Amino acid sequence: MPKSVHKPKGNYKKRETAGHLIIRYIMLFIGATLAALALELFLVPNDIIDGGIIGISLLINHLTGIGFGILVLIINIPFLIAGLKRMGKDFLISSIFSIVTLSVMENVFHHIEVVTAEPLLATVFGGLILGAGVGLVIRNAGALDGTEILGIIVTKKLPFSVGEFVMFVNVFIFAWAGFILGWEQAMLSILTYYIASKTIDGVGQGIMNETKAAIIVSEKSAEIADDLGDKLKRGVTKLYGQNSYQEKDTQVLYVVITRLEVASLKQIVIDNDPKAFTTIMDTQEVHGGRFKSAGH
């Protein structure tokens, strides 16, 4: 959520160290435990569900009484196996570990007193905790929900993105919830899904290390680049383009910064060239180069 490349012979892949592996599985355990806590102490007692496989499992549990932990494991496994070639063996093992942990901890929390019977509070805090848990699992190369894996496989042959496919599936899940749990509960479930999704993005990408990419077009690009290097200690990439209006060559600066450095970058640009054209965009991930987040 990878491109086919030629793999050279030999053991070219750097293996994960034992220490890193242990820490990663501890984080997977914590993430799955948080998800179980959100479900059992906030969402399920208030007839609120999430989207995807978790939502389907909760609805089937409500209708049949079959244990949620068993359902989420059984329904997820075919999707995980189907995605083995695309996602890799490590991902499959990490995901199965996370789902088994979710199943076990769900049974543990099942006997603990519910935190709140107020639906709106349950929606907000349940969504936040669920999102934090799922985000931790995703950040550590695992999954609790096979819907996106199915989306990756299916959308290769359909004119839809993975996000559009997941949204399409969830529309049916929440409509189903409306008929079974009531439309008010379905609306609360949609709100839970939204809150959880935003929290997953924050945890998965790193809330404090969120990065921005800036593109700056200026006649004083050299001065701006020097100031960005001196004041923000950021490497700047110089690109060459052409102004289509005046048909003359121009220099474009590209730099990646943290969210906390946005104001400083704007001020540097204004100080050097108030007429400069600046675009600042969100980035999903930053790898390689000399980029380091603030404070490192």
Instruction: Check residue 135 and give its pLDDT.
Output: 87
Structure token pair of residue 105: 């901890």
pLDDT tens across the length of the chain (296 residues): 344 334 444 444 456 688 888 999 999 999 999 999 999 999 999 999 998 999 999 999 999 989 888 899 899 888 888 877 777 788 889 889 999 999 899 889 988 888 888 999 999 999 999 999 988 988 887 888 888 778 767 776 777 766 678 788 899 999 999 999 999 999 999 999 999 988 887 776 655 456 789 999 988 889 999 989 888 888 898 888 777 666 677 789 999 887 768 888 988 999 999 989 999 987 766 666 655 554 44
First to last CA, the chain: 28
The residue type at 203:
V
**Strand pairing partners for 248?**
243
Please give the structure tokens belonging to residue 35: 């998800």
Helix, coil or strand: residue 239: strand
Q: What element of type H or E holds 266?
A: helix 262-272
Q: Where in the chain is the domain with CATH 3.30.70.120?
A: 211-282
- What pLDDT score does 14 carry? 52
* 241 beta partners: 250
The pTM for the full model equals 0.72
- The helix, strand and coil proportions of the chain, stated in percent and rounded to the nearest 5, come to 60, 10, 30
Q: Is 252 helix (H, G, I), strand (E, B) or coil?
A: strand
Query: CA–CA separation, 163 vs 245, rounded Å?
Result: 37
User: Check: CATH 3.30.300.30 for 211-282?
Assistant: no
Question: What pLDDT, on a 0 to 100 scale, did the predictor assign at position 165?
Answer: 80
Please enumerate in sequence order all residues whose Cβ is within 8 A of that of 28, keeping only pairs 6 or more positions apart, or say none: 94, 97, 98, 101, 136, 137, 140, 142
Q: What's at 287, amino acid-wise?
A: H
Beta carbons of 175 and 186 less than 8 angstroms apart: yes
The answer to whether 166 touches 64, Cβ cutoff 8 Å, is no
